[in-house]
Amino acid sequence: MKTIGIFCGGFSSEFEISMKSVNTILDHFPDGFSPLIIKVTREGWLTEMNGKSGIFDLNCASAIIQEQIIPLTGALVYTHGDPGENGKIQAYLDMFKVPYINSDPLASSLSFDKWYCNQFLKSFGFSVAKSILSKKNSNLDTNRIVNELGLPLFIKPTNSGSSYGISKVKSANELQKALALAYTEGETAVIESFLNGIEVTCGVYRKASEIQALPLTEIVSENEYFDFEAKYQGKSQEITPARISPEHTLSIQAQSIEIYKLLNLRSIARIDFMLVDSTPYVIEVNTTPGFSAESIVPKMLKEAGIPYSEFWNDIFETELKSS
């Protein structure tokens, strides 16, 4: 039985979202693997296995539970945000030669930064919103921002998920307050032009024989945009399959697979788009998409008729063999 360390929690605002995702994954954990929970907190890394608790020793990449040392034979990193979704835990695991199913540190770090990822994809011909990068404590010309990007516009932390720190700005005098909110999540923010279209998202994962795109989900928020309340408190419709034409569906699925390959992603990823007229604009790439009962990827799997346990078994078998 292979011991798989499941890294969860983390340092970001998404701690509880991570815990919900991992609980769902544990309910459908593939046979042949034994899960060891590693709860990552700033105060220490705590472990749990078979109802027994202990600590995780960062000096040897092993759990210590009731004086027993339990080394990892593999890992699943499922912290949303810092320090997993940005690749830091993966880099740590690489140093100890512990195989993991996630994207590697470079792919994770690039995908996690909304600004750099979209600029990278833009250089390969993908459509993205016009944007400006803002750094904390920098002086920005409000008039230039409004003239260049128009109103309304969005301000987002470059390194955060679950819509924490995002604002829709309708007037120039709201800019500074929105930036201050974004900076509560990190040192940089991206200021983006508004895209008026249909928001859709595509899950992609790698099986032994192919890279598979899941059915698209259309997101219709009751709020101004797909914010935290819309995502996790029932203030949105997440319609699967998306109500767009077969041609647009196939185009977005093909682009999602192309992006997955280009960024050298692994395991499950979810790529968000805004379909404006007939052009899909990439919004962001998620290498650790939510997997709680409220999350989108499980809904895609249900529509595709793929049991959760089969899905994770395919990922574990494929990614651990390639590590």
Asked whether residue 188 falls in the same domain as residue 219, the answer is: no
The two tokens of residue 208 are 């032994």
119, 189: one domain: no
Q: At a CB cut-off of 8 Å and minimum separation 6, what does 54 contact?
A: 46, 47, 48, 63, 64, 65, 66
CB atoms within 10 A of CB 93: 23
Q: Per-residue pLDDT tens for 181-214?
A: 999 888 999 999 999 999 999 999 999 889 999 9
pLDDT digits (tens, 9 = 90+) for 294-316: 899 999 999 999 999 999 999 99
- Close Cβ partners of 144 (under 8 Å, ≥ 6 residues apart): none
Q: What is the mean pLDDT of the chain?
A: 92
| Domain total of the chain | 3
| 75 and 154 co-located in one domain | no
Count H helices, E strands: the chain?
10, 18
Given a cut of 90, whether residue 321 has pLDDT beyond it is no
Asked if 170 and 218 sit in the same domain, the reply is: no
CATH number at residue 51: 3.40.50.20
Name the residue range of residue 142's domain: 130-193
- Together in a domain, 73 and 117: no
pLDDT per position as a tens digit, 112-145: 999 999 999 999 999 999 999 999 988 888 889 9
Note whether 140 and 122 are same-domain residues.
no
Per-residue confidence (pLDDT) for residue 25, from 0 to 100: 97
The last residue of one of the domains, among 178, 193, 208, is: 193
Given this model, what pLDDT does residue 162 score?
A: 47
Q: Which sign does the torsion angle of CA 262, 321, 112, 311 carry?
A: positive
49/76 same-domain check: yes
Specify the pLDDT at position 234: 55
pLDDT per residue as tens digits for the range 6-15: 999 999 888 9
CATH of the domain at 284: 3.30.470.20
Residue type for position 14: E
Q: What is the CATH number of the domain that holds 156?
A: 3.30.1490.20
Do 297 and 162 share a structural domain?
no
